[in-house]
Amino acid sequence: MIIPTLITAMVLSTGAPQSDDDPRAAIEGYFQAHAFGNGELIKQVFTPDARIMFIEGGQFRQWTTEDFAKRFQQPASDEYRRVRRIERLDVSGTVASAVLTLNYPQVLFTDHMSLLKIEGQWKIVSKVFLADRRDAGQEAIRETLQDWSLSFEPRKIIGNVYYVGSNQISSFLIVTPAGHILLDTGHIKMLPQVEANIEKLGFKVKDVKMLLNSHSHFDHCGGFAEFKRQTGAKVIASKLDGDAMMRGGKGDFYWGDDLAYEPVTPDRIVSDGERIELDGVSLTAHVTPGHTKGCTSWSMRVNEEGKDYDVLFVCGLTASLYKLTNNDQYPNIVEDVRSTLRSLRATHADVMLAPHGFYFDLEGKASRQKAGAPNPFIDPSELVRHVSEMEKEFEEALQAQERQR
């Protein structure tokens, strides 16, 4: 990890950033000043006569270094949700310019900085920052959900595995003679669509005996409480995501309380490698943290036309949007993501499925699904490709954030 623990970062923040031949030392000090509310660090990384200007909506404000430092009194309560990145850094001799983004829940700041190397140490001599307010954040989420929740023709994927979700939010039905297993319900408004899809395929909603969770975000388990009331299905989840589900998604290390849902208590907690079974059909839980702390991938073997196939329902792997360094709400996120990626890279899957359709080309494969033709969902190389894409995205995001080893 970049900074092993928040304590280490706090120790580093008590003094000036180490001087080296890279202007990142000053930028890192500036990021630390924001993270820990340390005005003294502002004074150390800016020159005393630095020009600090803010422009928004035609309004202009300017501070001296001393006045700007007074704005940093203590860490913000939502610090764990704040992501800072170096978007561009150009160096020419003893002069440098940088473009930084400070991505906060309600506003995105863009900083344009000029730096000089003075007596062997880089200093910030000017900073102009702009703000992009996000007052319509909830509306944007609603629009995204609407786009991702369009009706989609339910279908058989392979063997006894069926797709019953929307165009982009997945829900999978695993069928057995003694009852069925449902993996995710989508959000609460999507639940009627999932139930209708189950019935459309000729199965009964009331026959669902087990309700598995991929992860504890509202767009995947927001309908669990209602579905459990309707069917009596046993809710099964990992320990950490089960805890999140009992809180109704509140206290999420990235979303905070923004995307809450009706709490639900799991009937069974599964650990890594544990199996659940129903009438001879077995699924194995693989705890693959990073997207959430208890993100759970599920694997099973199916048979189609006399041949066995390994199916993996991979949990979300996206972590690049999160705060990856100095995250006191999830200090081991970098280790978790890398461990998950290593584990999945070593896993074999003939069929890779995921919580969102765009991760496994649901719409494209569905369009190629023809009677008598090869099953387009069978692709033994897809998991490795997906892991490689997610790994590249993650490492680039990590390098762009506030401190790099």
- Retrieve residue 199's tokens: 């019935």
What is residue 55's predicted lDDT score, i.e. its pLDDT? 82
pLDDT tens digits along 320-354: 989 998 888 999 999 999 999 999 999 999 999 99
The percent of residues in the chain predicted with pLDDT above 90, rounded, is 80
- Please calculate the CA angle 155-158-161 and round it to the nearest 5 degrees: 70
**Is the pLDDT score of 4 beyond 70?**
no
Topology, domain 6-133? Nuclear Transport Factor 2; Chain: A, (3.10.450)
- Retrieve residue 116's tokens: 């000089």
pLDDT tens digits along 254-272: 988 989 999 999 999 999 9
* The one catalytic residue among 261, 322, 330, 359: 322
**Averaged pLDDT, 353-366:** 97
224 contacts 242 by C-beta, under 8 angstroms: no
**pLDDT band at 405, cuts 50/70/90?**
very low
**Averaged pLDDT, 37-49:** 95
**pLDDT band at 16, cuts 50/70/90?**
very low
For 105, the enclosing helix (H) or strand (E) is: none
- Retrieve residue 305's tokens: 């036309």
291 is catalytic: yes
What is residue 56's predicted lDDT score, i.e. its pLDDT? 76
210 contacts 181 by C-beta, under 8 angstroms: yes
What is residue 403's predicted lDDT score, i.e. its pLDDT? 61
**pLDDT band at 7, cuts 50/70/90?**
very low
Find where tokens 């279908």 sit: 155
pLDDT tens digits along 132-166: 876 545 677 788 889 999 999 999 999 999 999 99
217 is catalytic: yes
User: With the C-alpha atoms ordered 376, 317, 344, 282, is the resulting torsion angle positive or negative?
Assistant: negative
Q: Is 95 helix (H, G, I), strand (E, B) or coil?
A: strand
**Is the pLDDT score of 8 beyond 90?**
no
Domain assignments of the chain as residue spans, ordered by start: 6-133, 150-400
23 contacts 122 by C-beta, under 8 angstroms: yes
For 96, the enclosing helix (H) or strand (E) is: strand 95-103
180 is catalytic: no
**Averaged pLDDT, 287-309:** 97
Query: In DSSP terms, which residues pair with 303 in a beta bridge?
Result: 308
Length of the chain: 405
What does the alpha-carbon distance between residue 92 and residue 76 come to, in Å, rounded to a whole number? 35
Average pLDDT, the chain: 91
pLDDT tens digits along 213-227: 999 999 999 999 999
* The one catalytic residue among 111, 184, 219, 350: 219
What is residue 133's predicted lDDT score, i.e. its pLDDT? 76
**pLDDT band at 11, cuts 50/70/90?**
very low
Identity of the amino acid at 175? V
322 is catalytic: yes
Q: Which long-range contacts (CB under 8 A, 24 or more apart) does 99-105 make?
A: 100/27, 102/34, 104/78, 105/78, 105/81, 105/134, 105/137, 105/256, 105/258
**pLDDT band at 390, cuts 50/70/90?**
very high
Question: For 71-80, 156-165, 388-397, which range has the lowest pLDDT when averaged over its residues?
Answer: 71-80
- Retrieve residue 331's tokens: 């200090």
Please state the pTM of the whole predicted model. Answer: 0.82
* The one catalytic residue among 217, 241, 254, 350: 217
What does the alpha-carbon distance between residue 220 and residue 286 come to, in Å, rounded to a whole number? 17
Topology, domain 150-400? Metallo-beta-lactamase; Chain A (3.60.15)
**Is the pLDDT score of 17 beyond 70?**
no
